[in-house]
Structure 1
């Protein structure tokens, strides 16, 4: 797991790298402009803050979650080792927002408004996602925020449970994706049929979905 966020306007030249969920009690160690955040009980690494990261990655740009290349991660690992930390970061270049296909949607055993879906996120990968969207049903294409995604509001998608049922990801609404003119009410974004299951969701194209629907 590697979630990277860069927001120079709000946080300055700092790259935040998250590799595990927050712990109840956390501690940190700072060396050579790098802060390691870890679980104080287990000493498991939770993430790193790279201060003045442009010295390590001079071409880094972005405002929010960023995708790091294998070369970027190698440079960060070298910086970690130079500072006396373990170079433990592993590159993950796959998109965290993908086009999914809801294969099944069955009632939750302990809820009258949740549905348990089997959602295809790639041709060889199906995940279970619990959804409370009022328009949820089988045989639709949707946008899935996979585990490790950072939503536009900064929330991170982790594996979890909803009323005792495992859920690995989130089926998103247009509002949650920050799309222009999206309805400000609950409901999954149902994509047109020409979207391909497993492909990365194109946010630029997505910005036209509700605009086009309004003007047609």
Structure 2
């Protein structure tokens, strides 16, 4: 679940992205200050209007985090508006340090690689990566499904050339880090970086 807020460009609206709509036509149902967005039978997002009035001050621009109190107020606002759904808190970091356990060439591509990348306490994700410098044994930055990148790109599971991929291994420029090199390639972290720790991105 992604919470996004940008008062200057969007207005006082909290956008709650729940799932990938996969290009399906969206249906919007609005009650009061709450709009539910569905694709087919699945709810993919919510928009909360006059968000700072309902939830209090919202800190940050782009992807933000809600306090426990704000999360409770969010669910109460959904109930007050007449919706039956409740949102479950997800406090796990989505952009984290990872370790590339294995890396092999994609069978149907001359530039893609298929990695098995550990992202936390034994959790391993298959991630297809197109970076020329990807290899086994690296510590890297992984955007897990449900992450929002600094440029607003949302990360969902996908299929690349027939192979499932569950996240993205990131470059310094994709993370908007200061002095990011122009040369293409994923960001390699020092080997003492701790797998599973949250990684701070730029804005």
Instruction: Give the TM-score normalised by the residue count of structure 1.
Output: 0.89
RMSD: 1.5
Structure 2 residue 39 is the aligned partner of structure 1 residue 36 = no
| Structure 1 partner of 2:20 | 21
The equivalent of 1:96 in structure 2 is 94
Matches within 5 A, 1:41-190: 41-42=40-41, 44-190=42-188
| Shift in Å, 1:45 | 1.2
- Where does structure 1 lack aligned partners over 5 or more consecutive residues? 208-216
Unaligned runs of 5+ in 2: none
Contact residue 102 and residue 142 of structure 1 kept, 8 A = yes
Structure 1's consecutive aligned runs of 4 or more residues displaced over 6 angstroms after TM superposition are: none
Q: TM-score, normalised by structure 2?
A: 0.94
Q: Equivalent residue for 1:3?
A: 2
Q: Residue 70 of structure 1: CA displacement?
A: 3.6
**Alpha-carbon shift at residue 61 of structure 1 (Å):** 1.2
Shift of 1:29: 1.3
Moved more, 135-144 or 81-90: 81-90
- Per-residue CA deviations over 1:126-171 (Å, capped at 9, x if unaligned) read 1100001000000010000000001111110000111011100000
Say how many residue pairs are matched.
202
